[in-house]
């Protein structure tokens, strides 16, 4: 599936956010529960996050151009950062409303009908979250994963709110409603932190995940057993795209043609082991001492060259 086609999942998330926000607002109006109010407010955050996801998926699907030769895949990380920030703002609003209700308790009304509506909204979110999570894993989209995780968090908090409202109905302790709203706010903050941490990791050019690194090294192992060596192996991920670069060392008496054929095979094996990988290889001679000088990111300056430059 082309990356541009992933936008349909963002539209699904937008539709779900609108439907659940309407249902939870009805539940709040029926019950006057601050817990259900916090739940409805989080659905507003879901809508904002889904709209941002649509914009970033659209940007990430753009092909490489002169100004962005490596593509636009990192745009997906911005969606997660924005959504995490929106989660924090929602948590603050929920906490303010909950503290106010602690000091000014209010009786709940039509609890049965209100909680029933809220549970229907949660069922919608749960179904959409599973669809998004499956698509995120299949297409390695951090934007869809962030959206799915957020919806799942919304489901958990909604169930907690419904339990709290039911507890008020059974015990008569009105303070349970705002206390549970505060617990919801705390849970939302944790969700926001997780999303932001995941996004920052991607923006910092983190290496490929351990399973992909293991598959990559397994693909290279068949060549090292034949006397071919490699070093300066570097990897990073940018949205769904993976980037792999390495230096391949062969005997110095090889022809350019033979070396090139080897690199073609190595690159094909890497792309097979790590789908959606752009592979960059550099051929070097095992017999040239200079081949061992550029294993680090910055190559040390050769002493003789430095002396010639200073003379």
* Residues ≥6 apart with Cβ < 8 Å to 141: 6, 57, 76, 135, 239, 240
Q: How confident is the model at residue 2 (pLDDT cuts 50, 70, 90)?
A: low
pLDDT value at position 308? Answer: 46
Q: Cα separation of 232 and 285, whole Å?
A: 14
Mean pLDDT of 20-45: 78
Q: Looking at the domain 210-310, which fold is it?
A: Alpha-Beta Plaits (3.30.70)
pLDDT value at position 189? Answer: 79
Listed in sequence order, the DSSP H helices in 104-208 are 111-139, 142-171, 176-203
CA angle 12, 14, 19 (to 5 degrees): 95
Q: How confident is the model at residue 109 (pLDDT cuts 50, 70, 90)?
A: low
pLDDT tens figures, 142-183: 778 878 877 887 787 777 777 777 777 777 777 777 787 777
Return the domain boundaries, the chain. 3-203, 210-310
CATH 1.20.272.10 assigned to 3-203:
no
């Amino acid at each position: 599936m082309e990356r541009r086609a992933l936008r349909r999942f963002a539209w699904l998330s937008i539709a779900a956010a609108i439907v659940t926000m309407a249902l939870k607002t009805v539940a709040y109006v029926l019950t006057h529960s601050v817990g259900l109010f916090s739940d409805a407010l989080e659905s507003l955050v879901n809508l904002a996050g889904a709209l941002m996801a649509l914009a970033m998926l659209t940007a990430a699907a753009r092909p490489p151009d002169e100004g962005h030769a490596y593509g636009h895949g990192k745009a997906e990380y911005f969606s997660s950062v924005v959504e995490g920030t929106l989660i924090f703002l929602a948590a603050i609003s929920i906490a303010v409303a909950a503290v106010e209700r602690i000091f000014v308790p209010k009786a709940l009304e039509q609890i049965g009908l209100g909680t029933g509506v809220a549970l229907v909204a949660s069922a919608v979110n749960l179904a959409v979250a599973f669809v998004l999570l499956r698509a995120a894993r299949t297409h390695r989209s951090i934007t869809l994963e962030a959206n799915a995780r957020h919806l799942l968090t919304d489901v958990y908090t909604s169930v907690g709110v419904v339990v709290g409202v039911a507890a008020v109905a059974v015990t008569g302790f009105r303070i349970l409603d705002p206390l549970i709203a505060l617990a919801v706010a705390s849970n939302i903050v944790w969700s926001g932190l997780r999303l932001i941490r995941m996004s920052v990791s991607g923006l910092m050019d983190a290496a490929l995940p351990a399973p992909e690194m293991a598959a990559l090294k397994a693909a290279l192992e068949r060549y090292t057993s034949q006397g071919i060596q490699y070093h300066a192996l570097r990897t990073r991920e940018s949205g769904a795209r993976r980037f792999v670069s390495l230096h391949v060392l062969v005997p110095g008496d090889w022809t350019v043609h033979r070396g090139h054929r080897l690199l073609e095979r190595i690159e094909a094996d890497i792309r097979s082991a790590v789908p959606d990988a752009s592979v960059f290889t550099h051929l070097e001679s095992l017999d040239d001492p200079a081949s061992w000088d550029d294993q680090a990111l910055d190559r040390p300056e050769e002493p003789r060259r430095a002396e010639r430059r200073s003379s």
